[in-house]
Structure 1
Amino acid sequence: MVARSKYVIFKQKVFSAIVTNATAEPKTAKEAIKNSQWLHAMQSEFSALQKNDTWSLVPPTADHILVGNKWLFKVKKNTNGSVNRFKAKLVARGYTQIPRIDFYSTYSPVIKSSTIRVVLSIAASFNWGVRQLDINNAFLHGELTETVYMPQPEGFVDVDRASYVCKLNKAIYGLRQSPRTWFDRLKAILIQWNFQNSKADTSLFVYQGQSLVYVLIYVDDILITGNSNTLI
């Protein structure tokens, strides 16, 4: 049985549908919710968004312009082809955003290829280690400066406030300004950690103290190198 919740799911009984291909990726949320594995993936995504304080529910007003959203589904597989996990993601319909109302700036700098070559050549010359990482759900860490409203996610409408809308506090995937808000947040944190932002390449950050560390940023992919593995 599915635990009772104040979130109504399409006003229909939730059940596990018997499908020919259990790993088929659903085209719609209504289709996904009939399968217990996809339903669990949706619930996990929704819980993560709530935990991150992604939005606040507010009463709608006549001047609210809503940015649409939709669910996307993807089967993540292992290298041998077996299923790793079922992933559901709530994304904004960014093409419905209106310039100077829902967003102002969308540009996010990325590291220059020439900067990568120079830093890697320095690392090779001094035999430094190079680490690569990417940030899970990077865009969800971006804090919005614009006021953006969207409908409650399909399948997860608060029954006590069904007419309310979501006022976004954080960026979500699909928003036009999501890459910029993520970069601004990461930049602020690195500067707080005493990194210097390069004037030659705004996606290069350098820490110079007793040790030297370079951080190169390409959206949510990051390279780190320097003369101190401990500091890295």
Structure 2
Amino acid sequence: MARQLLDDDDISLLTGEKNGRGDKKQKDRRSALVEMVYPESKVDEVEELQVYAAFAAIALITEPKPQPQQRTWHISEVKIPRSVSQAMNSPQRAEWWKDMEKEIKTMLDKGVLELVPESEMPEGTKSLQTVWRFQAKTDDFGNVVRYRSRRCGRGGKEKPGVDFNVVGTFSPVARMASFRMLVAMCKILHLLAYQADIDTAYLNARKRALAFVRSIAGFPLKRGWVYKVNNALYGLRESG
């Protein structure tokens, strides 16, 4: 979880305050030059050359080998795949596959999916249908900085009262007015305000209805094993 202290400028932006010209305040970030001042050295020129030669030799030995740089793709060069087959046949197949592996590992580590024997699956239970969804995130110049792969449940195939609880399908979200009021109170009372981001927060919610996944495209299971869905999965009705 990343946490950052908000200063007065950040709070002013969140509470809607503006400067004299009516524009929102922006931080002016500029690099600074730091002048290093050393005391006068009493080492003569010969010793200085010896020290310099020693440091040069160390730098030569410890100099890291250049690593091959990964090509940066522009979004105009990337066609977002609609299936695993398209992703594996695209020029960016290595990037897509790397994020697919990361997605499955994250779900297993967080307990969203649990590998269990097929015998634990109640008789007559239908397996949950899932699908891969791909997206690319870019910077301000349109260069792709991240390839995002998500394994989503097909919530449209779920039956009310069977696959999910109709009463419990809501997402408790605070109103924006309430959030702005709390930020304003922090400024009035001189309190410290923090902002935080929780990694894959969506996957932390528990799933109430029992669900199983028989297969995931690109990641075949051994015969006699299935995935049990313990936590919220993207796309399901109970997932918010």
> Same fold judged by TM-score > 0.5?
yes
| Structure with the higher fraction of residues in strand conformation | 1
Q: CA offsets, 1:90-149, max 9 Å, x none?
A: 011111111122211111211123422332221121233432233221121122232112
Structure 1 residue runs of 5 or longer lacking an equivalent are 1-20, 180-232
> Cα deviations across residues 201-224 of structure 1 (Å, max 9, x unaligned)?
xxxxxxxxxxxxxxxxxxxxxxxx
Runs of 4+ in 1 over 3 A off after TM superposition: none
Question: Compared with structure 1, are the counterparts of its residues 82 and 114 closer, same or farther at alpha carbon in structure 2 (3 Å cutoff)?
Answer: closer
- The within-5 A match list for 1:57-136 is 57-59=116-118, 62-104=123-165, 105-136=168-199
Asked which structure has the greater RCO (Cα within 8 Å, sep 6+), the reply is: 2
Partners of 1:58 and 1:164 within 8 A in 2: yes
Match of 1:84, SS? Answer: strand
SS at structure 2 position matched to 1:38: helix
From 30, 37, 43, give the equivalent of 2:85. 30
RMSD: 2.1
* Structure having the larger proportion of residues in helix: 2
- Structure 2 unpaired stretches of 5+: 1-75
Mapping of 1:179-218 within 5 angstroms?
179=240
Rounded Cα–Cα distance in structure 2 between residues aligned with 1:44 and 1:148: 22
TM-score, normalised on structure 2?
0.59
What is the aligned residue count? 157
Q: Once the two structures are aligned, what percentage of the paired residues are identical?
A: 24
1:157 aligned onto 2:198: no
TM-score (norm 1): 0.61
Higher CA-based Rg: 2
> What amino acid does structure 2 have at the position aligned with 1:106?
T
What one-letter code is carried by the residue in structure 2 that aligns with 1:109?
P
SS in 2 for 1:154: coil
SS of the residue 2:103 aligns to: helix
Q: Write the letter of the residue equivalent to 1:38.
A: W
